[in-house]
Amino acid sequence: MKAYVFPGQASQFEGMGKDMYEASSLVRELFDQANEILGFSITDIMFEGSAEDLKQTKVTQPAVFLHSIAKAKTQADDFHPDAVAGHSLGEFSALVAAGALTFEDGLKLVQQRAMAMQKACEARPGTMAAILGMEDAEVEAVCKEIDEIVIPANYNCPGQLVISGTVEGINRAVEILQEKGARRAIVLPVGGAFHSPLMQPAQEELEKAIAATPFQAPTCPIYQNVNALPQTDPEKIQENLIAQLTAPVRWTQTMLNMIENGVSEFVEVGGNGKTLQGFVKKVDRRFPTRAL
């Protein structure tokens, strides 16, 4: 069984998509359509923008989504996943690739998600930190001790857990975790406390948009971030997608569940093609991985 997995923010790179745009009329049509839907030329930023330009949330999220969908569509008849999953933002790419959402609706939701998250970040600043070389349970215990909002946000792979919360809380957690033996505890250069209760205003805003968007049954199960379980029911998919903004991304558990259910190969679709392959290898080195 083959699983296609889709990356989220931080997988962007300068010049992303330009080679595909120049080589494929299908991709040109897709990218031109995206410019029209978004109301600005995202292709100009993707092709010519600096790393700093690409870091803007309103640019990063649609850019990574668009890049992933273009990669999937260029496979044409060879794109036959037995399962899909996406890391955070990548869940929207996975849903479009598996036919649960149209490209147009997926891109509109991604744009609304980016803007809602940006507003939430400005209303209440927060940050995130990557904790390396500790057991998840140890990190979870420290988060509970701190008298601030600090929660596990991304269970990326064994030995790598990203925490999210208030600036004060994250700084305190980093100090404690370093004292307790974390190999590394690094505050990340992000704009806010993603996948934490600080994203509640964004979740409320996005809930209305998701509820108003038609979803279909996907062509294969999608393993969703909030519970790491396979889903094909459109209503449940919507519910889980709404919950995603304030809930942890259970990526380690997703990979383990996919393997347990028979997945034997992972294909990373979009972005720099390295991030999710790396996580798979940390879960179990025996499984072949590749990038489109």
Q: Where are the domains of the chain?
A: 2-122+197-291, 127-187
* Cβ partners under 8 Å of residue 101, min gap 6: 92, 95, 109, 213, 215, 216
Residue 262 burial (C-beta neighbours within 10 Å; 0-12, 13-18, 19+) = exposed
**What is the pLDDT, as a whole number, of residue 286?**
83
Outline where DSSP puts E strands in the chain: 2-6, 83-86, 127-132, 150-157, 160-165, 184-187, 222-223, 230-231, 265-268, 289-291
* Cβ partners under 8 Å of residue 257, min gap 6: 223, 228, 229, 230
When pLDDT is averaged across residues 55-79 and rounded to a whole number, the result is 90
**What is the pLDDT, as a whole number, of residue 288?**
86
**What is the pLDDT, as a whole number, of residue 140?**
97
Percent of the chain with pLDDT over 70: 100
Cα dihedral sign, 80-227-254-85? positive
| Beta strands across the sheet bearing 265-268 | 230-231, 222-223, 83-86, 2-6, 265-268, 289-291
Give the pair of three-digit tokens for residue 239.
Answer: 């519910």
When pLDDT is averaged across residues 149-154 and rounded to a whole number, the result is 97
169 alpha-carbon distance from chain centroid: 23
Tell the residue number behind the tokens 């309103």, with chain if given: 58
Tell the residue number behind the tokens 């494929």, with chain if given: 24
Neighbours of 105 (CB within 10 A): 20
**What is the pLDDT, as a whole number, of residue 78?**
84
Using left for φ > 0, alpha for ψ between -120 and 50, and beta otherwise, residue 142 falls in alpha
Q: Which of 95, 97, 90 is nearest to 73 (CA)?
A: 97
Catalytic residues: 88, 195
* Each residue's pLDDT tens digit, 30-63: 999 999 999 999 999 999 999 888 888 889 999 9
Backbone dihedral angles phi then psi of residue 182, each to the nearest 5 degrees: -60, 135
Q: How far apart are CA 82 and CA 29, in angstroms?
A: 27
When pLDDT is averaged across residues 57-74 and rounded to a whole number, the result is 93
- The answer to whether 225 touches 243, Cβ cutoff 8 Å, is no
Q: How far apart are CA 1 and CA 69, in angstroms?
A: 21
* CATH of range 2-122+197-291; options 1.20.120.330, 3.90.850.10, 3.30.70.100, 3.40.366.10: 3.40.366.10
Kindly report the CATH class assigned to 127-187: alpha beta
Tell the residue number behind the tokens 């179990």, with chain if given: 284
- Whether residue 175 has pLDDT greater than 90: yes
pTM above 0.85, yes or no: yes
